[in-house]
Amino acid sequence: MAGLFHKLRHPRRCYVVCTIPRSGSNLLTDGLRATRRAGQPKQFFLRKFESRYGAQLGLDPAVDYPGYVRGIVNTKTSPNGVFGFKLMSWYLDAFLARLRDAHTFGNSATDDLALLQNAFPRLRFIYIIRRHKLRQALSTARALQTGLWKVQEGKRTVSEPQFDPELIEQSLREAQRQEKIWQDFFQRIGIRPFEVEYEKLCQDYEGTIHGVLDFLEISLPRGMRIGNPVTIRQADEISQMWEERFLAERPSAYSPAAG
């Protein structure tokens, strides 16, 4: 535990990247983390990852969830006092329930915004979205088949993807459902998140990262540049062929004007 306490840093500000699968959140959070000024925004509160992070802290999240949350915040904060994390909409409600059930950050009478702010000081919300919904669905269908959710050099697929219009259409509907969860949540807590568009992030990576840093009021050392992304875009000839074939076979399932 001595090593843990040696690394404690209490945050002066926190932020959460709100997202759904295949929205470009890895591209965004990798860029923020690479600055070494914006914490280490990862999915610390996805249940399947908690045991691994908890072991690093010498804590069992199932036994002491408040201790786990505080331990993550205090050890994953960058030297300038910034802590960031990422949340997917599909486990948002479960995460809020665990925070509330801990009886440390609030109770049944505590609203969601206050609950989160009690756990994460000066919390700000970033929402990354992808405008082209069909390409997002294609990417999801492909990742479901290959098992490759983050494309990086050296990573291999577990199987070759096959064109599956039913899976693509299901992915379209699921993305709509998950985006609505975030939209309803933001409306319920009464905030407007800072929006990042995946397409703009790809077009102007450095400029978009700087825009997020400005929103978070994080300054970089003079002369520091944002490096090239480590995450590789999945879009290629296969994606293009799938898009054309899906539009030809199921024209009523998707309207290009919708994104």
Q: Which two tokens stand for residue 167?
A: 């899976």
94-109: per-residue pLDDT in tens? 999 999 999 999 999 9
Q: CA-based Rg of the chain, rounded to a whole angstrom?
A: 19
Question: Looking at the predicted structure, is the pLDDT value of residue 49 above 50?
Answer: yes
**Residue count (the chain):** 259
123-163: per-residue pLDDT in tens? 999 999 999 999 999 999 998 898 776 655 555 655 788 99
CB count in 10 Å sphere of residue 231: 17
Question: Looking at the predicted structure, is the pLDDT value of residue 1 above 80?
Answer: no
Residue type, 107: N
Question: Looking at the predicted structure, is the pLDDT value of residue 2 above 60?
Answer: no
Q: How far apart, in whole angstroms, are the C-alpha atoms of residue 75 and residue 256?
A: 45
**C-alpha dihedral sign at 141, 145, 147, 152:** negative
Residue type, 93: D
The whole-model pTM stands at 0.90
pLDDT of residue 199: 95
Query: For residue 136, which phi and psi values (nearest 5 degrees)?
Result: -65, -45
Strands 194-197 and 123-129: parallel
Q: Which of 35, 30, 72 is nearest to 53 (CA)?
A: 72
Percent of the chain having pLDDT more than 90?
Answer: 77
Question: Cβ neighbours of residue 206 under 8 Å, at least 6 residues apart?
Answer: 225, 226
Q: Which of 131, 85, 114 is nearest to 188 (CA)?
A: 114
55-63: which pairs have CB atoms within 8 A and are 24 or more residues apart?
A: 57/4, 58/1, 58/4
